[in-house]
Amino acid sequence: MKYLFIFLPLFYIPLAFSQVYEVVESIDFDNYISPMVSVKKAGKTYYYHAASNIWVDDVDEYAADLLVVIKDGKYGMLRDDGELLIPIIYDHIKLETDYEGQWYEGIDYRYKFAVLQQNNKVGVANERGELIVPFEYSEAKVINKAVIGVAIDGLWGWVSAATGELVHKPEFEYLSKYYNEGYVEVRNDDFAGVAKANGELIIPVEYDDYMRILYYGKEVRFEGKIADRVHVFDTTGTELISGHSLYQYISGSNNLVFKENSQFGIFDPLTKKVILEPNLELINGFVRNLAVAKKNGKYGVISSDGQQVLNFEYDEISFLTAAGRYRSESAPVAPFNARNIKGVDINKLKARWDYEQEIDAQPYLIAAAKGDSKGVFKWQGEPIVPIGKYNNIDLRYFKGKTFYWVENDNKWGIINDQGKEILPLLYAFDESYQFSKVAVNDDNLIFDRFFSFSNGKKENSYREEIGLFDLDLQKLIIPIAEQNIEIVNTEHIKIRKELSTYDYEFYDYNIKENKHNKLPGPALEYHLLANGFWIAEMQDKTYKLIDSAGNIVYENSKWSSKEYYDLLRFPSYGSKNHGDFYHGLKKIYTSEANLFVNEKGQEQRFEEVDQVDAFYEGYALAAKKGEEAYKYGMIDLKGNVIVPFEFDAVNAMGAESEFLQFKKGKLSGLVNRHGAILLDPIYTYIDYNSNYPYIIVRKDDKYGLADITGEIIITPQYEALRRNYSGKDNTWPLIVTEKGWRYFMNSDGTKALIKAKEEEY
């Protein structure tokens, strides 16, 4: 039964209908218990909820969306939207909340309850403020979302969290949560047992210390210990096996590992039979039905049904994924749960997660060592890389296959998934730093596809000879030479060779076409553009535009790395590359400020405009020379005017410079990079920070608020406006100043019914 609180009509009277403001000494934000703010009155500081006009002396707890508040020594419970759920009349209130995993915004709580105390009795209310456990007990505690423990005279029983009905009378000295909401661990003295949430005692209270749980087998088992002997039960409380000193689960199996006289074996609790006699010195944790075991000082591999997969003849055995990562014990993997985490690219994170799951879904491998030799076996025990041939083996996963970088007598080569040598053992690890693939860190199909290796250094040379092997084509694609190799994107690899003249020779290897193109030289450096064109920086510091076939598409003797400081400096757009093509046009930086080329190398200028920035999203900043100074505006790709040329200056705003603040004299407006005018140029001040969803504006010395679409949320009519950085949306409630008075303002635009002349900072 639920017991509804009856609110006394005079206790809390909403005052929203009245616009009579109570005058206080000062108001301020509280940085720790938002949404509560602080108010000073008659020399005393109170906590205040601006939306509900509730005053309290203190906040005792704040968890989930619930606050335990104190007024005149009495306790109540407030929801963070301001609704008073439990009246402030109790001697004490303690929140009971529980959630799974690391805290994050929007978390789903397993339960939320409040334990109430009144006149030395306790009751329990749910998160809606409904009393579900009456004031009939001396103590209460939440065990799980289904069970609430209650005590009389120091003995504990429990009630249903759903109905409040007593399901087991108080007779135990201690209760605790166990396994899941369907069970409770019960204790008397130093002995423990297990009961169901419905009150049924299924394992008697006679086991030492506490009850344990064997997770991750095919079925969950409970175990208790008496002296040095262990007893194992199923979840109904039926005893399955007992009498040994240790039992261990086997992942995904009903069988159990047991220990007898310091030796290990395997027992089937369903048939009550020993299926592997206790004659092993060690059985490690099981992975996909297999475990490494030890017998007579040597290692082998057994299955969960007691079969021998690898003989006991090895000095070392490890389980590996297809990518060579160690696996020691199976355990469930939590699903990917994307959350908007500041500074983290969720799409990249998910792609990495998916790739790791792809690798883990492949068959595992068994690595074994005997003396100085190593080998790799399939999961069924068949050899892939046999013992006796190689001293070292390293694994590389690519497109559903495992490749092996193997070594013998300090010479390395590559073996494919069929055990065939595809790169002879003639080379060494590449430790030269002459190979780079940083640009494709997030593309696993490219990052893991290419394998660099070394032929060492020639005499009197400081550079190594390196080459590149393609695991997809299973062949050498860049022969050994003194060179630098850089994977610059998913389609191109840049090769730079130093000539005897100390000049450089550059090549472009097209990954899709499996083709080398020699790039024009001599050049100092090459930079790849997004559409496959190259920018060549020549010896004389001039630039040339080169297509993917190595042909010169455009050159201009004035296009160089020289900075032209007489040109206007337009605000850049975040991480966008000024040197790239956008919408088919590339800006050419020379002494001329209105020059572009298309992908055919044809020049293009925009009439009646003096200076034009690079295009982003199809739009560009531009400037016209006026009588006294430049005037700024924006144009599209056809030269149409999007923002008129009537502004004196432009500043970028936002973490990625996504907004542009156009200034006309002392007035400012806001434009996005698509050329849309968000705020007309009528404001004397605009303040935007990407961490906050609102823009502060000032017009005629009065402040207001707009959202990032330009919609005015609060009309500029206040002498001052201050954000609540710890409040909702890092903004609410605001403090606004009007005619010298400070007010709290809620997100719906209403003002709280108090005012002050002062703020406390």
What digits encode the pLDDT tens for the residues 400-428? 999 999 999 999 999 999 999 999 999 99
| Rounded-to-integer distance, Cα 112 and Cα 126, Å | 6
Domain stop point among 528, 562, 596: 562
| Rounded-to-integer distance, Cα 338 and Cα 507, Å | 41
Contact (Cβ atoms closer than 8 angstroms) between residue 82 and residue 52: yes
pLDDT above 70 covers a percentage of the chain that reads: 95
Do 502 and 639 fall within a single domain? no
Tokens at 623, concatenated: 């400037």
Tokens at 380, concatenated: 């069924």
| Rounded-to-integer distance, Cα 69 and Cα 64, Å | 14
Do 732 and 679 fall within a single domain? yes
Burial label, 563 (beta-carbon count in 10 A; 0-12, 13-18, 19+) = exposed
| Rounded-to-integer distance, Cα 518 and Cα 383, Å | 44
| Rounded-to-integer distance, Cα 123 and Cα 104, Å | 30
Q: Is residue 624 part of a domain?
A: yes
Is 70 exceeded by the pLDDT of residue 386? yes
DSSP codes joined into one string, 509-572: EETTTTEEEEPPSSEEEEEE-TTS-EEEEETTSEEEEE-TTS-EEEEEEEEES---TTS--PPP
Contact (Cβ atoms closer than 8 angstroms) between residue 743 and residue 759: no
Q: CA neighbours within 13 Å on the CB side: how many for 323? A: 13
Q: What is the pLDDT of residue 15?
A: 40
H helices within 412-462, ranges in order?
A: 444-447
Q: Is residue 759 part of a domain?
A: no
Tokens at 730, concatenated: 């890092």
Q: Is 360 helix (H, G, I), strand (E, B) or coil?
A: helix
Q: Which residues contact 103 (CB under 8 A, 6 or more apart)?
A: none
Share of the chain residues as helix, strand and coil, in percent rounded to the nearest 5:
5, 55, 40
Contact (Cβ atoms closer than 8 angstroms) between residue 493 and residue 485: yes
What average pLDDT does the segment 499-516 reach? 90
Do 541 and 655 fall within a single domain? no
Q: What is the pLDDT of residue 569?
A: 86
Which pLDDT band holds residue 5 (cuts at 50, 70, 90)? Answer: very low
Q: Which residues contact 517 (CB under 8 A, 6 or more apart)?
A: 507, 508, 509, 510, 548, 549, 550
Contact (Cβ atoms closer than 8 angstroms) between residue 604 and residue 585: yes
What digits encode the pLDDT tens for the residues 261-315? 999 999 999 999 999 999 999 999 999 999 999 999 999 999 999 999 999 999 9
Return the closest-CA partner of residue 309 out of 329, 325, 291. Answer: 291
Q: What is the pLDDT of residue 265?
A: 97
Instruction: Sheet containing 685-687: give its strands across.
Output: 685-687, 694-699, 702-707, 712-718
Return the closest-CA partner of residue 584 out of 540, 615, 630. Answer: 615
Q: What is the pLDDT of residue 14?
A: 41
Q: What is the pLDDT of residue 12?
A: 38
Return the closest-CA partner of residue 173 out of 192, 160, 159. Answer: 192
Q: How far is CA 330 from the centre of its chain?
A: 24
Which pLDDT band holds residue 18 (cuts at 50, 70, 90)? Answer: very low
Q: What is the pLDDT of residue 336?
A: 63
Do 517 and 574 fall within a single domain? no
Place of tokens 């990052």: 447
What average pLDDT does the segment 515-520 reach? 92
Do 548 and 575 fall within a single domain? no
Q: What is the pLDDT of residue 705?
A: 97
Provide the β-strand partners of residue 40: 26, 45
Domain stop point among 562, 585, 613: 562
| Rounded-to-integer distance, Cα 187 and Cα 689, Å | 57
Contact (Cβ atoms closer than 8 angstroms) between residue 589 and residue 572: no
Any idea what the Cα angle at residue 357 is, between residues 356 and 363, rounded to 5°?
A: 100
Do 659 and 622 fall within a single domain? yes
Do 558 and 588 fall within a single domain? no
Tokens at 55, concatenated: 């005053």
| Rounded-to-integer distance, Cα 369 and Cα 517, Å | 45
Do 723 and 574 fall within a single domain? yes
Query: In Å, what is the CA distance from 391 to each residue of 371, 388, 401, 409?
Result: 9, 8, 22, 8
Contact (Cβ atoms closer than 8 angstroms) between residue 88 and residue 105: no
Q: What is the pLDDT of residue 333?
A: 61
pLDDT above 90 covers a percentage of the chain that reads: 80
Any idea what the Cα angle at residue 125 is, between residues 124 and 130, rounded to 5°?
A: 140
| Rounded-to-integer distance, Cα 41 and Cα 634, Å | 54
Provide the β-strand partners of residue 687: 696
* 252 φ, ψ (degrees, to nearest 5): 75, 10
Q: Is residue 406 part of a domain?
A: no
Q: What is the pLDDT of residue 6?
A: 36
Is 80 exceeded by the pLDDT of residue 437? yes
* Stated pTM of the model: 0.79
Please tell me the total count of domains within the chain: 2
Q: CA neighbours within 13 Å on the CB side: how many for 188? A: 10
Do 558 and 571 fall within a single domain? no
Do 530 and 611 fall within a single domain? no
What average pLDDT does the segment 175-204 reach? 97
Q: Is residue 438 part of a domain?
A: yes
Q: Provide the 8-state DSSP code for 438.
A: G
Tokens at 301, concatenated: 């591999």
Return the closest-CA partner of residue 34 out of 67, 75, 72. Answer: 67
Q: What is the pLDDT of residue 334?
A: 61
Burial label, 747 (beta-carbon count in 10 A; 0-12, 13-18, 19+) = middle
DSSP codes joined into one string, 596-614: EE-TT--EE--TT-SEEPP
Burial label, 334 (beta-carbon count in 10 A; 0-12, 13-18, 19+) = exposed
Q: Is residue 200 part of a domain?
A: no
| Rounded-to-integer distance, Cα 381 and Cα 77, Å | 63
Place of tokens 């020594």: 73
| Rounded-to-integer distance, Cα 210 and Cα 207, Å | 7
| Rounded-to-integer distance, Cα 173 and Cα 187, Å | 6
| Rounded-to-integer distance, Cα 281 and Cα 278, Å | 9
| Rounded-to-integer distance, Cα 376 and Cα 404, Å | 9
Do 732 and 588 fall within a single domain? yes
DSSP codes joined into one string, 164-189: --EEEEEEESEEEE-SSTTEEEEEET
Q: What is the mean pLDDT of the chain?
A: 92
Contact (Cβ atoms closer than 8 angstroms) between residue 426 and residue 413: yes
Q: Is 240 left (phi over 0), alpha (psi -120 to 50) or beta?
A: alpha
Which pLDDT band holds residue 16 (cuts at 50, 70, 90)? Answer: very low
Q: CA neighbours within 13 Å on the CB side: how many for 126? A: 19
Domain stop point among 562, 583, 602: 562
What digits encode the pLDDT tens for the residues 448-494? 999 999 999 988 888 999 999 999 999 999 999 999 999 999 999 99
| Rounded-to-integer distance, Cα 110 and Cα 104, Å | 14
Q: What is the pLDDT of residue 7?
A: 38
Q: How far apart are the first and last CA of the chain?
A: 48
Q: Is residue 270 part of a domain?
A: no
Q: What is the CATH number of the domain that holds 437?
A: 2.40.128
Torsion of CA 667, 672, 673, 677, to 10 degrees: -70
Q: Which domain holds residue 527?
A: 430-562
**In this structure, is the dihedral angle defined by the CA atoms of residues 470, 474, 477 and 481, taken in order, positive or negative?**
positive
Query: In Å, what is the CA distance from 86 to each residue of 70, 113, 162?
Result: 11, 12, 19
Q: Is residue 57 part of a domain?
A: no
What digits encode the pLDDT tens for the residues 686-717? 999 988 999 999 999 999 999 999 999 999 99
Q: Provide the 8-state DSSP code for 709.
A: T
Tokens at 93, concatenated: 């209130």
Q: Is residue 348 part of a domain?
A: no
Amino acid at 552: I
Neighbours of 680 (CB within 10 A): 12
| Rounded-to-integer distance, Cα 221 and Cα 223, Å | 7
Place of tokens 């402040």: 703
| Rounded-to-integer distance, Cα 572 and Cα 622, Å | 13
Q: What is the pLDDT of residue 393?
A: 96
Is 60 exceeded by the pLDDT of residue 761? no
Least confident of 474-488, 555-569, 623-637: 555-569
| Rounded-to-integer distance, Cα 530 and Cα 416, Å | 34
Provide the β-strand partners of residue 714: 705
Do 547 and 588 fall within a single domain? no
